[in-house]
Amino acid sequence: MHREIRNHVEDVLAGSKASPGAEHLDQCQECRSEIRGMREHASLLRELRAPAEAEPRPGFYARVLERIEAQGPISIWNLFTESAFGRRIAVASLALALLLGVYVITSERVAEDPLLASQPAQTPLAEQPVVTAEDAPGRLIIQMDQTIDQSVDQLRVDESSPDAVLANLVTYQEQ
């Protein structure tokens, strides 16, 4: 719909001939067609008017009170049970709690099992196959990173002894 009529739609629909939009309507087929559609909808909407005698049955207030008593005060739990969004949050929270529970149980079992707990996390450096730079440059970089990590760990362990620190530094440089 064109800007000329956009601000005057309510006046045009009300049938005002003096509206600035009425002039535009005479010349514009597109706006005329849209206004016709809006008029049809307005007429359909008026069909939703109830008959004048539409009234609730006598004793309505008493029934409202009964319903209020039956429903009771709204609690925080109603948010989770009555709205679809609340229900989704409740289901997601339960699923998360379940996952956390499974994780905690399985991690405790690993800690308690002496076989699983005593397994080294990494293969000792000496047992690892030597990879040349020509074969796999990426793997060499990973191997170097592991070596640095191990040396740093050793430095941390032996930091009480200055000689051991020096020895480790020499080993690191050689590597």
The answer to whether 116 touches 110, Cβ cutoff 8 Å, is yes
Task: Tell me the closest approach of the beta carbon of residue 16 to other proteins, in angstroms.
Answer: 12
Could you tell me how many residues of this chain bind other proteins (CB under 8 A)?
34
Backbone angles phi, psi at 51, to 5 degrees: -60, 150
When the beta carbons of 84 and 115 are compared against other proteins, the nearer one is 84
Q: Choose one: 22-30, 44-52, 140-148, 149-157; the region binding other proteins (CB under 8 A).
A: 44-52
When the beta carbons of 18 and 45 are compared against other proteins, the nearer one is 45
- Structure token pair of residue 113: 């099992």
47 binds other proteins (CB under 8 A): yes
28 binds other proteins (CB under 8 A): no
**The binder of other proteins chosen from 3, 29, 56, 111 (CB under 8 A):** 56
54 binds other proteins (CB under 8 A): yes
Site string for other proteins, 81-120 (x = CB under 8 A): ----------------------------------------
Task: Tell me the closest approach of the beta carbon of residue 53 to other proteins, in angstroms.
Answer: 7
Residue with tokens 């514009």: 28
